[in-house]
Amino acid sequence: MPVDVLIGLQWGDEGKGKIVDVLAPTYDVVARFQGGPNAGHTLTFDGIKHVLHQVPSGIFHPHILNVVGNGVVLDPVVFRQELQKLTDRGVDWAQNLYISKKAQLILPSHRALDRLHEEARGSTKIGSTLKGIGPTYQDKIGRTGLRVGHVLLPDFEERYREAVAQHAATAGHYHRTLDIAAEEAEFFVAVGFLRTLQLTDTEFLLNDLLRQGKRILAEGAQGSLLDIDFGTYPYVTSSSTIAAGACTGLGIAPRHIDKVYGITKAYCTRVGSGPFPTELTDAVGEQIRQAGREFGSTTGRPRRTGWIDLPALRYAIMLNGVTELHLMKADVLDGFAEIKACTHYRLPTGATTPHLPDPGQLQDVVPEYVTLPGWHSDLTQLSAAADFPAPLQAYLAFLETELQVPVRIVSVGPDRVSTILR
Ligand code: GDP
Ligand code: IMO
Ligand code: MG
């Protein structure tokens, strides 16, 4: 069963891009199955930091095919810029990149609508990345969207105009105009560029490769708590971010899935609005933000920070069927005398629960913590699990007991080499 799925277990930015890059050499294909330019996946190696938004994180390995699957929403403008940057850095991607003709196209008018919807929500805004994700998935589900394959049709521009007319009507409901004239020119340049790429029905490509025994790594974007069904709705993204999304987002049958890698930070972060029970708005939260450089890879926004949330992780592990955990950014906690972990929530009724309640109730829970000793050492200098300080060993053992899944990787720095296998 050669498809493994890698997903974020929290609210995104767990370090998925780094681990895809680390694991990539043992795979033949890396495939994105959902999300779009809302993602920002950071890879650091040879002293250079790369941030990928829509290009799969296997692109730096010449032997790997990189697939943008049908479940993705693709902004051609952002894609062209990303690929140009890779070209400038000497990455030869042309033969290794395939894009599904069934992926949805993000239009300039989707970005404009994203802004209008958010403005209209006022104090209940989602805190979206304003990349047009919600409106594009809305059109997909509403069966009015444009697909990547449509750029190859002779009447593409006509279809585009029809879509924009509908979007203009929606803007009219807000008594606003779309105001996208300036963005349209670069959109059509980017569409011309998209036509030169390998656009295909990637479900056939992937299943052919599977038949040949090739190994596929499905790269999740966002995180399980941002999932459209199971996340903290409505403060979620608009796609299936959990492992099951890899099947529909790539056209791969469930029986092919083997391992599910669950990526979590040693603490917790969130960008945008919505409940975050273990959030720290005090000096400790600020210390985590500074030590972890917790500022968004896509929008630069400061990330909200807090302690690790085990009820939320248990939920995500259940939904995804996680077979192994990868604990990221352990080094960020180096300077902490004590580390806290939320094991239970206290509900407004006074009862405690180890489970995540309905998102509507999550605002009102009070986290119950256990406190563990910090390790008072510089983890970034370590290269083997045998050298882990005793308090870190104890923290890992504690997590494995609480979560009932083995921690197989501990990450101790942004670079590819700062990755310790257990
Ligand atoms: P993704 O969206 O899940 O791929 O994660 P992001 O790239 O948005 O955010 C993770 C951030 O943490 C990036 O800036 C990474 O370079 C950085 N990072 C990843 N792993 C580690 C680690 O173990 N330690 C530290 N200090 N930084 C890390
Ligand atoms: P990666 O793949 C963190 C958040 C936004 C907002 C909500 C909805 O880098 O982990 P959207 O633009 O999708 O409509 O925004 O989801 N969000 C992310 N947060 N990491 C991401 O991606 C995110 N993608 C979206 O901040 O709260
Ligand atoms: Mg990110």
Enumerate residues lining ligand 1, CB below 6 A. 8, 12-18, 40-42, 44, 297, 328-329, 331-332, 411-414
Q: What is the pLDDT of residue 296?
A: 85
**86-114: pLDDT as tens digits:** 999 999 999 999 999 999 999 999 999 99
Ligand 1 atom, smallest distance to 221 CA: 2
Q: Give nearest CA residue, ligand 1 atom 17.
A: 414
Q: What is the pLDDT of residue 290?
A: 97
Q: Is the pLDDT of residue 359 over 90?
A: no
Q: Give nearest CA residue, ligand 2 atom 11.
A: 128
User: Cα of 137 to ligand 1 centre, how many Å?
Assistant: 27
Mutation to probe ligand 1, out of 10, 18, 46, 383 (largest number of atoms < 8 A from CB): 18
Average pLDDT over residues 375-382: 96
Q: What is the pLDDT of residue 300?
A: 85
Query: What single-letter DSSP state applies at residue 62?
Result: T
When pLDDT is cut at 50, 70 and 90, the band that residue 347 belongs to is: very high
Asked whether the whole model's pTM tops 0.85, one would answer yes
CB 223 within 8 A of CB 241: yes
Q: Is the pLDDT of residue 1 over 60?
A: no
**198-247: pLDDT as tens digits:** 999 999 999 999 999 999 999 999 999 999 999 999 999 999 999 999 99
Q: What is the pLDDT of residue 224?
A: 98
Q: Is the pLDDT of residue 297 over 80?
A: no
**169-188: pLDDT as tens digits:** 999 999 999 989 999 999 99
CB 117 within 8 A of CB 96: no
Ligand 2 atom, smallest distance to 221 CA: 2
When pLDDT is cut at 50, 70 and 90, the band that residue 408 belongs to is: very high
Q: What is the DSSP string of 120-174?
A: HHGGG-----SSSHHHHHHHHHTT---BGGGGGSTTHHHHHHHHHHHHHHHHHHT
CB 328 within 8 A of CB 15: yes
Mutation to probe ligand 1, out of 21, 42, 59 (largest number of atoms < 8 A from CB): 42
Proportion of the chain above pLDDT 70, given as a percent:
100
Q: Is the pLDDT of residue 381 over 70?
A: yes
Number of Cβ atoms within 10 Å of the Cβ of 192: 12
Task: Determine the 3-state secondary structure of 416 from DSSP.
Answer: coil
User: Cα of 42 to ligand 1 centre, how many Å?
Assistant: 6
Q: Is the pLDDT of residue 298 over 80?
A: no
Secondary-structure breakdown of the chain: helix, strand, coil percentages, each rounded to the nearest 5: 35, 25, 40
Residue 256 is a catalytic residue? no
**109-168: pLDDT as tens digits:** 999 999 999 999 999 999 999 999 999 999 999 999 999 999 999 999 999 999 999 999
Q: How far is Cα 37 from Cα 16, in angstroms, rounded to an integer?
A: 15
Residue 114 is a catalytic residue? no
